[in-house]
Structure 1
């Protein structure tokens, strides 16, 4: 199979779909790999390193889209990239379609085979291709929130860890999954006063056993959520409904109860955000203020730590890429029902139920695509 990896063009996105090591693995399986020149510069991977791995360097993305059987990326294809997709071509990347009707419409029109990292499943309902980026984003959310809390950045001027004689900052983390757990690890490590909210008694029990007295846990109902948000210096939105739009848990009215200069970090922004006042921002202009509350809503947070993120991502995406390349996408999905969960769009049809429901589009079961 001919596999192409274009340079990411989203604002301040420095990750790359394939590392030189991943390109070498694909080549060693007998496949051809095309890399757009400079695609790996953000992680310190030069064109020379890719060539030594057996990949071919091409000058423009257009050539990759014209020639490749499978496109491997990190972020969702931008409009100019979607226009270059063709019928039957495999697109393997993060998509986050539920809050993005324009992208979904373009992918349907392209008739490409679109496999989304974020809906590929694992044993026990895990999301193994989303997990490493959730780990990175969870940890980064505390760094970003701590910076936004600085007075020069519009925040309250609170140091999360406090100092002797001064209370630490209060952090409320909404959602106790991978993002929430990693955010809590960072926040407790700094010495902040941490509360984690979740609706699952089992999750709350695990969090309580892990963090013991270092973090408090509370059941996430409207009253508890409102109280924690009002008291917090920093609120982390870490909720996820796989493949679907995030629920709006923090309303604009709740902002009026918060301390002026408090910070909201919406890690769920890729799925539309879990704060009513959220809209996607970029690393170039990461924050804005609504009703005196600082919002950090960067949609590709892990892109800021591109080297760590790229290698963590390739660790989990490469095995599936090899399977797709070795077997062809249909046979790969037939043999691996977890990978089949990643198929979101095929031949002009939406094949992921939550996306179809959120966008009011017809739903075609994956089984139809695999016939």
Structure 2
């Protein structure tokens, strides 16, 4: 198969779909890999590294799409990239379609087979291709939040861990999943006073077992969420409904009642955000203020630590890339129900229920489309 790796063009996105080591694995399986020039140079993967791994370097993204049968990316294709997709293409990347009507419409119109990293599952109903980026974003959320709390950036002027004789900051983490657990580890490590809310008692028991009285765990209701958020210096939004838009759990009224200069880091922003006041930002302009509360809503947070993120992502995507290349997309989807769970759009049809509901497209059963 011919596999293409274009350079990411989203704002300050330095990750790359495949490392030279991953390219070498594909070439060892007899496949051709076309990599856009400088696709990985910002994070230390030079064109020479890709050439040594067996790739062919091409001059621009359009040439990558033209040469390839499968496109491997990191972030959702931008409008200029979507115009290059054709019915014969397989696209394998993060998509986050539910809150993105324009992208969904374009992918449907392209006729391409579009598989989303974030909805691929495993035998335990987890999301293995989303997990490493959630780990990165969860850890980054605390350092970003701690930075935003500094006074010259509009924050309260609070040190997350406090000092002897001065109380630490109050941190509330909404959601005890992968993002929440990684944010919690960082916040506790910095000495913050941390509360985690979730509706899964097994998750709360697990966190209580790990951290004991260093963390407060609360079953999430409207009342407990409101009380915790309104008393916080820093709120981390880490809720997720696979493939669907994030629920707006944090209301405008809660934001209004937070202390002046407090901070919310909405890690759920890729799926639309979990606060009513959230809107996607970029690394160029990462924050804005609503009712005195600093909002950090960067939609590609892991792009800031692009080398770590790229390597972590390739560790989990490579087996699926190999399967798609070795077998072809249809056979690979037939053989692996977990990969099939990642299929969002195929042949002009939306094949993921939550995306169809969110965007107004008719839902088509993926099993029918691929003939299982």
Q: TM-score, normalised by structure 1?
A: 0.99
Q: Which residue of 1 aligns with 2:95?
A: 95
Q: Which residue of 2 aligns with 1:264?
A: 264
SS at match of 2:304: helix
CA shift digits 1:71-110 (9 cap, x unpaired) = 0000000000000001120000000000000000000000
Q: Which residue of 2 aligns with 1:324?
A: 324
CA distance in 2, matches of 1:42, 1:303: 11
- Decide which moves more: 208-217 or 32-41: 208-217
SS at match of 2:57: strand
CA distance in 2, matches of 1:231, 1:253: 13
Report the CA distance between 1:369 and its aligned residue.
Answer: 1.9
SS at match of 2:35: strand
What aligned pairs does 1:211-230 form with structure 2 within 5 A after superposition?
Answer: 211-230=211-230
Report the CA distance between 1:291 and its aligned residue.
Answer: 0.6
Report the CA distance between 1:333 and its aligned residue.
Answer: 0.8
CA distance in 2, matches of 1:256, 1:79: 36
CA distance in 1, matches of 2:345, 2:240: 21
CA shift digits 1:183-215 (9 cap, x unpaired) = 000000000000000001111111111111111
SS at match of 1:194: strand
CA distance in 1, matches of 2:112, 2:368: 15
Q: TM-score, normalised by structure 2?
A: 0.99
What aligned pairs does 1:268-279 form with structure 2 within 5 A after superposition?
Answer: 268-279=268-279
CA distance in 1, matches of 2:108, 2:248: 27
Q: Which residue of 1 aligns with 2:335?
A: 335
Q: Which residue of 2 aligns with 1:248?
A: 248
Q: Which residue of 1 aligns with 2:353?
A: 353
CA distance in 2, matches of 1:362, 1:214: 48
Dislocated runs of 4+, deviation >2 Å: none
Q: Which runs of 5+ in 2 are unaligned?
A: none
**How many residue pairs end up in the alignment?**
371
CA shift digits 1:323-357 (9 cap, x unpaired) = 00000011111111000000000010000011001
CA distance in 2, matches of 1:336, 1:88: 21
Q: Which runs of 5+ in 1 are unaligned?
A: none
CA distance in 1, matches of 2:240, 2:42: 28
CA shift digits 1:138-197 (9 cap, x unpaired) = 000000000000001000000000000000000000000000000000000000000000
Task: Confirm or deny: 8 A CA contact 1:88 1:347 kept in the other structure.
Answer: no
Report the CA distance between 1:43 and its aligned residue.
Answer: 1.6
Q: Does 1:232 align with 2:235?
A: no
CA shift digits 1:303-338 (9 cap, x unpaired) = 000000000000000100000000001111111100
CA shift digits 1:257-311 (9 cap, x unpaired) = 1100000000000000000000000001000000100000000000000000000
Q: Does 1:116 align with 2:98?
A: no
CA distance in 2, matches of 1:74, 1:326: 21
Task: Confirm or deny: 8 A CA contact 1:288 1:296 kept in the other structure.
Answer: yes
Q: Which residue of 2 aligns with 1:83?
A: 83
What aligned pairs does 1:1-371 form with structure 2 within 5 A after superposition?
Answer: 1-371=1-371
CA distance in 1, matches of 2:222, 2:207: 20
CA distance in 2, matches of 1:21, 1:42: 17
CA distance in 2, matches of 1:192, 1:341: 38
SS at match of 2:240: coil
Report the CA distance between 1:42 and its aligned residue.
Answer: 2.2
SS at match of 1:289: strand
CA distance in 2, matches of 1:104, 1:230: 36
CA shift digits 1:37-75 (9 cap, x unpaired) = 000012210000000000000001111111100000000
